Amino acid sequence: MSDRSEADRLTQESTLMRLVRRPEAGAFIVMLVVVTAITFASDFKAFNALGLKNNIAIISQFGIIATGAAMLMIAGEFDLSIGSMIGFAGMSMAMMLKWGLPFGMGEATPLTAFILTMCMTLFIGWMIGTIVVRSGLSSFIVTLAFLFFLRGLTEVCFRLINQSTQISGLPDFKEESWVAWILGGEVFGWFYDLWFQLGGNINRRGEQWVDGFDARFLWWIVIAFCAWFVLSRTQMGNWIYATGDNKDSARANGVPVNKVKISLFMFTAFCATMFAACQVYDTNTADAAKGNLMELNAIAIAVVGGTLMTGGFGSVIGVAFGAVTFGLVANAVFYIPWLDGSFYRVFVGLVLLAAVFANERIRKRITGGI
């Protein structure tokens, strides 16, 4: 009897240790603390019908770009051009929608503007990845160069063609285009309909307050699920982890390291473009400053979510927890009147530093202290 009890205890301990060692364990605990604190500090306003919609909107934005950043970091590389890519992609779509297709090819539809922009950003992502793998230069330096190049190019083009760094007042394409609707419309309306039927989600006039979540929520779910599936259920996922763990060993075992890295740089460009497209078709505006410093937020969320800076370790689930945490804190100033907006930067700095120390301990435990 005692032997069986001892075996059960050891099994429970080993299960607990496996959970603690998972990359998303720390991010989950931090998320719970933040959710609880903001819930009570905002007197539950952060999670009423409108508060939930607004919070999910910014969480989804963070989640989309952080998923791309985390996948690349697991493979041992960084992309500092994500924020500038967002501004470039938004500018590209808005300029085509306002002034037409390039080279006098006629008017642009939301579909053609989106496809042409995606082709351009994927090409830029391919070019960044190719420069990194062919030259052997640090991805930090290469993508830092593209951060400045794309931001400057975006501002120059805005001023040259539009005489302003902003475009506003675009038609609401959601009323006539399915592409604009699935990118900038609303989703999961049944959730708010059910909430209304249960006696909540009611405005002061007794009408339904909120009709649905922003479409970017659905896109975050789709992108995160695809990334999780690739990492955990496909050979490509094994290649990504192997590349980040030891690229020389991975190459010796037949892993196409260069193709893996280039494809992931293209994936971060894809995520940035989806971020920009959702913003443009939701607000019918574009700004050259869009996406400013988003690359740092994406990397910070990935690290807090358990992704190692050295590569080879991380999870999409942890990134999702990190996105929830950062999104809630970034939006908290709107629900907690006494909270200074600069607190978000203080929070990011403290949590990021703590996450780096925690991830380093995890790395040493995995590698046996190397």
Q: Name the residue with higher pLDDT: 102 or 31.
A: 31
| Side-chain-side CA neighbours of residue 70 (13 Å) | 35
Query: pTM of the predicted model, to two decimals?
Result: 0.91
CA distance 313 to 317: 12
Q: H or E stretch including 105?
A: none
Phi and psi (nearest 5°) for 272? -65, -40
Q: 95-99: long-range contacts at Cβ-Cβ below 8 A with a sequence spacing of 24 or more?
A: 95/157, 95/158, 95/161, 95/162, 95/167, 95/286, 97/170, 97/173, 97/280, 98/162, 98/167, 98/170, 99/161, 99/162
Q: Across the chain, where does the E strand assignment appear?
A: 166-167, 186-187, 213-214, 286-287
Does residue 287 carry a pLDDT above 80?
Answer: yes
Predicted confidence at residue 24, as pLDDT, reads: 76
Within the chain, how many helices (H) and strands (E) appear? 15, 4
Torsion of CA 120, 235, 231, 272, to 10 degrees: 0
Residue 208 per-residue DSSP state: B
Tell me: the pLDDT tens digits for 296-334? 999 999 999 989 888 888 899 999 999 999 999 988 888
CB 306 within 8 Å of CB 22: yes
Pairing of strands 166-167, 286-287: antiparallel
Predicted confidence at residue 16, as pLDDT, reads: 57
Tell me: the pLDDT tens digits for 113-160? 999 999 999 999 999 999 999 999 999 999 999 999 999 999 998 888
Q: Name the residue with higher pLDDT: 360 or 100.
A: 100
What residues pair up with 115 in beta bridges, in sequence order? none
CB 302 within 8 Å of CB 80: no
Predicted confidence at residue 5, as pLDDT, reads: 60
Q: Label residue 3 by pLDDT band (50, 70, 90).
A: low
Q: Identify the residue whose tokens are 């990011």.
A: 348
CB 270 within 8 Å of CB 122: yes
Dmax of the chain from CA atoms?
84
Does residue 53 carry a pLDDT above 80?
Answer: yes
State the average pLDDT over residues 51-73: 96
Tell me: the pLDDT tens digits for 63-98? 999 999 999 999 999 999 999 999 999 999 999 998
What residues pair up with 202 in beta bridges, in sequence order? 208
All structural domains of the chain: 25-367 (1.10.3470)
CA distance 309 to 299: 9
